[in-house]
């Protein structure tokens, strides 16, 4: 793979840079405030309307059908401009693309891609997180609908979602992985309640818990076949684990560069150990950047990813937490810096080893699915 821009890529990059100079919404560049979350929907639509969202997704669902190297350029330029990242809906898009029939794809994907409709992911439950297959939310057929009852938790974007991709048990007698189906469920109906959850960094708009009490989903809005919800869930979470997809790498690189600059300006405030931490954050970020390039190169060669996504997730978590540890020092030296962005970044980084499957679960997957070790 050539790491330089082709003429077409260079043209795309300079057009994007010019657009960003005019259209950067001036929101905080990362998820460290409620203001950031409130601005997500208009930012999504602005990016899409300008041709900068869904770039690598099929034209049939509103994308531009370009190679995913353009997504990487987008992420790099968003980070360089200090603009918010592209909203992360790619994992839902991939799940629906792979598992839904044509009518469901056409009904929902253009809305998700364009940002006209907001979605959340209703998988986790109070007693079903790592062991997701024991989920208890149920969906029972009633004429042309299913009636849904249950309780979801840690549902990102539930605050602003129009739809929720809900995993629910449709066959109570089937083995636990087999009796689950996936549904598109409207959030603005009487049987659905969303309650925000406050995060450790003070954010209340990122996620919430959602209860379904006699909520209804149309049978035609089942995503995939009955009993195939588990397979869809595995596609969704495998894409959720990929750092290239999430566009985080360029943000880590930007943060680490700023941290290095602060350390240079205030050298005396930093111990050798602090600089060591910062040095490892720089090394980790560069390693992750090259790793994502390799994944991208695989993808351009038509190799789709599988369980290696767990390696990506472990590496991404490690790097985010390395960068955040370096940021913790900066937050002590510059406590007022942009309302203490560094401290909020540190607090948020704790969630990275939990969301999308915990670090322990990723390590189990690496051990059993990649290294072929027996389950412990
Ligand atoms: C910021 C954030 C956003 C999220 N967004 C969403 C969302 O949009 N939609 C959604 O559905 N969910 C979401 N989640 C939930 C997330 O997927 C779960 O928190 C995660 O899967 C862990 O489940 P749990 O919290 O129930 O912890 P548990 O599964 O109870 O785990 C507790 C601890 O036990 C360990 N453990 C459990 N089982 C094993 C095992 N077999 N081997 C070794 N260790 C084990 C875990 O690693 C962890 O350390 C989000 C979480 C966070 C933090």
pLDDT in tens, 154-192: 999 999 999 999 999 999 999 999 999 999 999 999 999
Using the predicted structure, report yes or no on whether residue 246 has a pLDDT greater than 60.
no
Banded model confidence at residue 205, pLDDT cuts 50, 70, 90: confident
- Identify any residues that bridge with 269 across adjacent strands, giving them in sequence order: none
Give 361 Cα–ligand 1 centroid separation in angstroms.
9
Given pLDDT bands bounded at 50, 70 and 90, which one contains residue 240?
Answer: confident
- pLDDT computed for residue 30 by the predictor: 61
| pLDDT above 90 for 114 | yes
318 pLDDT band, cuts 50/70/90, is very high
Cβ of 351 less than 6 Å from ligand 1 = yes
CA 168 to centroid of ligand 1, rounded, Å: 18
| The pLDDT of residue 356 is above 60 | yes
For ligand 1, what atom is nearest to the CA of residue 120? 8
User: In the 8-state DSSP scheme, what is residue 334?
Assistant: -
Residues 6+ apart with CB under 8 A from 128: 134, 135, 136
Q: Which atom of ligand 1 is nearest the CA belonging to 157? A: 8
Q: Which band of pLDDT confidence, cut at 50, 70 and 90, is reported for residue 29?
A: low
- Prediction pTM value: 0.94
Alpha helical stretches, state H, 195-271? 229-240, 243-246, 249-265
How distant is the alpha carbon of residue 149 from its chain centre? 26
How high is the pLDDT of residue 235? 92
- The answer, yes or no, to whether any atom of ligand 1 lies below 6 A from the CB of 360, is yes
Do 43 and 84 touch, CB atoms closer than 8 A?
yes
115-124, 303-312, 314-323: lowest mean pLDDT where? 303-312
Task: Judge contact between 329 and 276, C-beta under 8 A.
Answer: no
Which range has the worst mean pLDDT, 64-68, 126-130, 239-243? 239-243
The closest residue, in CA terms, to atom 26 on ligand 1 is: 129
Atom of ligand 1 minimally distant from the CA of 358:
47
The residues near 102 (Cβ < 8 Å, ≥ 6 apart) are none
Confidence of residue 298 (pLDDT cuts 50, 70, 90): confident
Q: Which atom of ligand 1 is nearest to the CA of 131?
A: 29
Region 194-209: mean pLDDT is 90
Is 273 a residue of the active site? no
3-state secondary structure at position 169: strand
Task: Please name the residue whose Cα sits nearest to atom 27 of ligand 1.
Answer: 129
Mutate to test the pocket of ligand 1, among 120, 132, 154 (most ligand atoms within 8 A of CB): 154
Tell me the CA–centroid distance for residue 129 and ligand 1, in Å.
5
Say yes or no to pLDDT of 310 above 70: yes
In this structure, the number of other CB atoms found within 10 A of the CB of residue 34 comes to: 16
Q: Which residue has the higher pLDDT, 237 or 192?
A: 192
Least confident of 44-53, 98-107, 218-227, 306-315: 306-315
Residue 102 C-alpha from the chain's centroid: 24
pLDDT at residue number 85: 86
1 vs 106, higher pLDDT: 106
Higher pLDDT pick, 149 / 83: 149
Higher local confidence (pLDDT), 342 or 26: 342
The angle, 0 to 180 degrees and rounded to 10, between the axes of the packed helices 309-333 and 249-265 is 30
Spatial contact of 323 and 285, defined as CB atoms under 8 Å apart: yes
3-state secondary structure at position 185: strand
Residues in the chain: 376
* Mean pLDDT (whole number) for 87-103: 93
* Secondary-structure breakdown of the chain: helix, strand, coil percentages, each rounded to the nearest 5: 50, 15, 35
Q: Is the CB of 207 under 6 A from ligand 1?
A: yes
Q: Residue 4: is its pLDDT beyond 70?
A: yes
Ligand 1 neighbour 156 (Cβ under 6 A): yes
pLDDT at residue 339, as a whole number: 66
Catalytic residue among 76, 125, 209, 240: 240
pLDDT confidence tier of residue 238, bands split at 50, 70 and 90 = confident
Q: What's the pLDDT tens digit per position in 35-75?
A: 888 888 999 999 999 999 999 999 999 999 998 889 989 98
How many angstroms is it from 154 CA to the middle of ligand 1? Answer: 9
């Amino acid at each position: 793979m050539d790491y330089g821009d082709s003429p077409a890529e260079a043209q795309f990059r300079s057009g994007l840079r010019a657009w960003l100079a005019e259209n950067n919404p001036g929101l905080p560049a990362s998820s460290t405030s409620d203001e950031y979350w409130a601005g997500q929907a208009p930012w999504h639509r602005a990016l899409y309307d300008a041709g900068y969202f869904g770039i690598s997704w099929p034209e049939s669902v509103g994308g531009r059908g370009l190679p995913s190297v353009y997504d990487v350029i987008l992420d790099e330029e968003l980070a360089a401009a200090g603009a918010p990242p592209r909203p992360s809906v790619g994992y839902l898009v991939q799940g629906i693309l792979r598992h839904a029939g044509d009518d469901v794809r056409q009904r929902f994907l253009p809305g998700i891609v364009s940002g006209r409709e907001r979605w959340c992911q209703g998988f986790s439950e109070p007693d079903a997180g790592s062991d997701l297959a024991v989920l208890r939310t149920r969906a029972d057929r009633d004429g042309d609908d299913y009636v849904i009852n249950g309780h979801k938790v840690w549902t990102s974007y539930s605050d602003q979602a129009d739809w929720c991709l809900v995993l629910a048990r449709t066959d109570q007698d089937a083995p636990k992985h087999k009796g689950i189906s996936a549904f598109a469920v409207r959030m603005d109906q009487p049987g659905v309640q969303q309650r925000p959850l406050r995060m450790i960094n003070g954010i209340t708009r990122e996620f919430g818990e959602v209860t379904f009490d006699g909520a209804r989903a149309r049978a035609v809005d089942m995503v995939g076949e009955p009993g195939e919800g588990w397979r869809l869930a595995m596609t969704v979470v495998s894409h959720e684990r990929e750092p290239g997809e999430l566009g985080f790498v360029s943000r880590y690189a930007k943060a680490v560069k700023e941290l290095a600059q602060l350390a240079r300006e205030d050298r005396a405030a930093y111990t050798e150990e602090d600089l060591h931490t910062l040095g490892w954050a720089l090394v980790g970020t560069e390693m992750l950047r090259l790793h994502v390039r390799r994944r991208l190169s695989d993808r351009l060669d038509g190799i789709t990813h599988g369980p290696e996504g767990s390696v990506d997730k472990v590496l991404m978590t490690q790097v985010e937490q390395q960068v955040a540890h370096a940021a913790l020092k900066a937050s002590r030296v510059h406590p007022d810096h942009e309302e203490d962005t560094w401290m909020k970044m540190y607090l948020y980084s704790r969630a990275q080893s939990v969301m999308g499957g915990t670090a322990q679960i990723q390590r189990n997957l690496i051990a059993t699915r990649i290294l072929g070790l027996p389950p412990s």
